[in-house]
Amino acid sequence: MSKESIKLIANNKKAYHDYFIEDRYEAGICLHGTEVKSLRMGRCSIKESFIRVENGEVFIYNMHISPYEKGNIFNKDPLRIKKLMLHKYEINKLSGKMTEKGYTLVPTQVYFKGGLVKVEVGLAKGKKLYDKRQDIAKRDQRREAEKEFKVRNLG
């Protein structure tokens, strides 16, 4: 048996920047013919996309698949909501985790595995974004205070 070839289509670097990815799942995705052809040409963006669990089903929103040039009337809306295929126990586990504070689902990559399109779903916890300007201001104040202290003690 040969190992199935994996060809990366899209990677979500923003997800790794904004979240701690704690767990990963591989999901199939429901697509139409022209969408698959467009993906084979590498026309896909998951930068702004997100995943929701609704009524025991998993959907991906804002995943942009550019229309296939030769697809004319068969092309679908590039931003349509697509269903992800996961096992029932995985969906139950994910929806249980999502009820906890701070957890969300983000797509981390889209790739071909064999001949099938797969989406890697990451169970993620949001990173805290501290305001760097406040830190810089505090550092400057401390430096000024140390300078004044030195000047007073020397003079």
Residue range 23-54, pLDDT digits in tens: 899 999 988 888 888 888 888 888 888 888 88
pLDDT tens readout for residues 90-137: 888 888 888 877 788 899 998 888 888 899 998 888 776 554 466 567
Distance CA 138, CA 98 (A): 36
pLDDT, mean of residues 83-91: 90
Q: What is residue 32's three-state secondary structure?
A: coil
pLDDT of residue 87: 93
The residue assigned the tokens 């949001």 is 126
| Cβ–Cβ < 8 Å for 60, 82 | yes
pLDDT at 1 over 50: no
Neighbours of 90 (CB within 10 A): 15
- What the block records as the tokens of 50 is 């997100």
Question: Which tokens is 23 given?
Answer: 């767990």
Q: Is the pTM of this model over 0.85?
A: no
pLDDT of res. 131:
44
Residue 124's DSSP bridge partners are 21, 104
Whether 70 has a pLDDT exceeding 70, the answer reads: yes
